[in-house]
Amino acid sequence: MTDARTALPVGDGSDGRLGPYGSRLLHGWYATGGAAGLDEHLGRYGPTPLPGNPDAADRLVRAVEDAGLTGKGGAAFPTGRKLRTVAAGKGTAVVVANGMESEPASSKDETLLDLAPHLVLDGVALAAAVVGADVAHLCLPRTRHDQARALREAVEERQRLGLDPVPVLVQELPHHYVSSEETSLVRWLNGGDARPLATPPRPFEKGVGRRPTLIDNVETLAHLALIARYGPDWFRGAGRPDAPGTTLVTLSGALHTPGVYEVPMGLPLGEVLDVAGGATQPLGSVLLGGFFGSWLPAQQALRVPFAKSDLASLGAGPGAGVLVALPAHVCGLAEAARVLGYLAAQSARQCGPCQFGLPAAAADFAELAHGRCSPGRLQRLESRVGLLAGRGACRHPDGASRFAATALRVFADDVRHHLIHGPCAAAGYEPVLPLPPAPAPDDRDWR
């Protein structure tokens, strides 16, 4: 995929208006073509508008609620409600900024932390002030060590100027698919493995150090920093009433300029893809939401607005803003089989569905895509996929089940062809989905 930063044209939205493609979080990049250091950041925004008393903190939470900000890590939980819940918890709170981005098809969080790190750190400081935290953790994968070093330098520079109310600790965690799950962060920060925990209790009740813990995606925190400055009406100046604001999206596949972009919520998916120059060839389908997401036929998907309510009717959702455009000539079953094999290898192996069910389903799917699958084996695959959801110790089997089930539905014609004739010629084409070389982790890799 093209480096996200090379795909961003220059423009300006620094006065609070929408810049090119609806830019807000990335308007510094559009304006200058470079990452924003602290001097540039302060010159553009001024100091972080920290609430100085409980009434001011409450006003900020109300502004977030009125803005309609929801989490940008995939779950889309209302951010204002999360802030209130943690602030009302028993004991001194902890803030965790989630920049792990374990989804291979996404690079929005990495790009944001590269280009506008101080906007994220402003959001961390504001969240800490609102919930009464005495420490904050910024979690990144160990594979991005250079970025972690740059962020530590940014944190130290802010500390020297006394900009932040609490210390911010940049943490480097093992890089596995499930390690970005919020309970994995809590478990690792508490000295354990970066594997999901069974719940309850949820982190907002008893998280890091068994204290109330606010865990927010780094993009969510950057939006918080802008709402604190410009207010909820400004935030709602983009998007739709039921899907306000802008969002970062990672666009890849058969597009002229794949990369990370910022777009208003509610745009039809076809217009979102046009932001990346449009398709290079006829599309057969779109993967929405990444490897825990849903496949949609291109003809149907391109007309649907990028908004939770519209996508829910199709069994999909915005997720973490991943859209992959799959050409019509590519075998979707072969693409899906690769991903299911990856997900099976990346499980935490803590429960039956992950340890046995997901590898078995992935093996059946691989047989369907590349071998001679019988109708009986297809029925077994469909049964196994149906049994995965809702039975795991974490959401990993649920996401894999949704991915597999929508692939079987959207690529039904390919399924029939493979059953009758065996693998199609397209199954041997160069893969489209971005899949990293990631061997199955052993028990020593989780800490």
Helix (H) or strand (E) holding 377: helix 375-388
How do residues 338-381 score in pLDDT, each as one tens digit? 999 999 999 888 888 888 889 999 999 999 998 878 888 899 99
Strand 246-253 relative to strand 322-327, pairing:
parallel
Helix (H) or strand (E) holding 287: strand 283-288
The mean pLDDT value for 37-46 works out to 95
Q: Within a 10 A sphere around the Cβ of 48, how many other Cβ atoms?
A: 23
Which position has the higher pLDDT, 150 or 429? 150
| Average pLDDT in the chain | 90
397-412 residues labelled b (16+ CB within 10 A) or e (exposed): bbbbbbbbbbbbebbe
Asked, as a colleague might, if the bond just before 201 is cis with ω within 30 of 0, I would say yes
Strand 239-240 relative to strand 243-244, pairing:
antiparallel
Q: Which residues pair with 323 in a beta bridge?
A: 251, 288
> If you write DSSP's letter for every residue of 162-219 in order, what string do you get?
T--SS-EEEEEE---GGGGSHHHHHHHHTTS-SSPPP-SSPTTTS-GGGS-EEEEEHH
How do residues 257-314 score in pLDDT, each as one tens digit? 999 999 999 999 999 999 999 999 999 999 999 999 999 999 999 999 999 999 998 8
pLDDT confidence of residue 6: 35
> If you write DSSP's letter for every residue of 228-242 in order, what string do you get?
HHH-HHHHTTSEETT
Confidence of residue 86 (pLDDT cuts 50, 70, 90): very high
Kindly state the tokens that stand for 387. Answer: 């049994």
pLDDT confidence of residue 338: 94
Please say if the pLDDT value at position 3 is more than 70.
no
pLDDT confidence of residue 5: 36
Strand 259-264 relative to strand 246-253, pairing:
antiparallel
Confidence of residue 236 (pLDDT cuts 50, 70, 90): very high
Domains of the chain from N-terminus onward: 4-235 (3.40.50.11540), 332-428 (1.20.1440.230)
The mean pLDDT value for 135-164 works out to 97
DSSP, collapsed to helix, strand or coil, labels residue 123 as helix
Which position has the higher pLDDT, 4 or 248? 248
Kindly state the tokens that stand for 440. Answer: 């199955």
pLDDT confidence of residue 392: 77
Please say if the pLDDT value at position 41 is more than 70.
yes
How do residues 128-140 score in pLDDT, each as one tens digit? 999 999 999 999 9
